[in-house]
Amino acid sequence: MQEIEATTAEMITFGRTLYDEIMALVITYAFSFLGAIIILIVGYTIANVAERSIYAALSKFKSFDETLRRFLSKTVRYAILVVVGVTVLSQFGVQTASIIAAIGAIGLAIGLALQGTLQNIAAGIMLLVLRPFRVGEFIATPTISGTIEDIGLFATELRGADGVYIFAPNSLLWNVPVTNSSRNDLRRAEITLTVPETEDAEKVRLKLLDLASDDKRILDKPSPEAFLSTDNAAIVTLQYWTTTRNFWQTKVDMSQKARVVRAAPTALPSQ
């Protein structure tokens, strides 16, 4: 009987001790849990407000592309959420230093694995910020030429002169010289004719100047110029300025008119 009473007393004492320890843990971690919830709510709210604020601020600058605005605002949002997550873990006594080190190591590994992709992203950001070309403009590089259809963070889509679809990684467009034929309002065109010695090159030169003067698409200032150079035969070169919008059609028309002049040569005066 005494043994039963002693066992019962030990069980009661153990139960009370266990209860006290559980209550101590509950009290201790209740505040941590409550603090973690508050941090999550406040952090999530701050992340959303920061995303909207940055997007709205960047929207005031017309030079910022829509894709870039979304990318930067989302980046800030996720950066804040990462900080919030680490802070929440520290509420429960987790060593955040090791977590930060692990995140850094993972980031380094991902960066090395996606080196080419990250290079394209960096190039895409620079293209969207500096704007060497825009949608609808015609560009040419040593390897690629075409009209810009879309500029993304990873790649740029173009339409070739023959209508072919071109998908170019941004790094290929950032690390090379780019000739933009559509950026400036005015462009100079040049037409060259070879005049045999049996023909009057000076009359051909004057005729080309007359054709340029009669075309309303060709600017008076700077005025058209035509000059002669000689090699085995006389070479007449016509240079004129026109708007970028009219450049190609004007050059086609002037080339056709020049061929007509060449097809009906003027003979040299008789000696």
Q: What is the mean pLDDT of the chain?
A: 80
pLDDT score, position 271: 38
pLDDT in tens, 30-45: 666 777 788 888 888 8
Q: Enumerate the domain spans of the chain.
A: 2-113, 132-180, 186-263
Q: What is the pLDDT of residue 264?
A: 58
pLDDT computed for residue 146 by the predictor? 94
pLDDT of residue 38: 83
Burial class of residue 5, CB neighbours in 10 A (0-12, 13-18, 19+): exposed
Q: What is the pLDDT of residue 1?
A: 58
| Fold assignment, 132-180 | SH3 type barrels. (2.30.30)
CATH of domain 2-113: 1.10.287.1260
CATH class of 186-263: alpha beta
pLDDT at position 178: 93
Spans of the chain below 50 pLDDT: 267-271
Contact 244, 209 (CB under 8 A): no
Burial class (CB in 10 A: 0-12, 13-18, 19+), 88: buried
User: How is the beta sheet containing 225-230 ordered, strand by strand?
Assistant: 186-195, 234-243, 225-230
Question: Is the link from the previous residue into 177 a cis peptide, with omega within 30 of 0?
Answer: no
Segment 71-130, tens digit of pLDDT: 788 888 888 888 888 787 777 666 666 666 766 777 666 666 556 677 888 888 888 888
Range list of H helices, the chain: 2-59, 66-91, 96-113, 115-130, 170-174, 201-214, 247-263
Spatial distance between the Cα atoms of 48 and 44, rounded to a whole number of angstroms: 6
Q: Residue 113: its pLDDT value, please? A: 59
User: What pTM did the predictor assign?
Assistant: 0.59
The pLDDT value recorded for residue 43 is 85
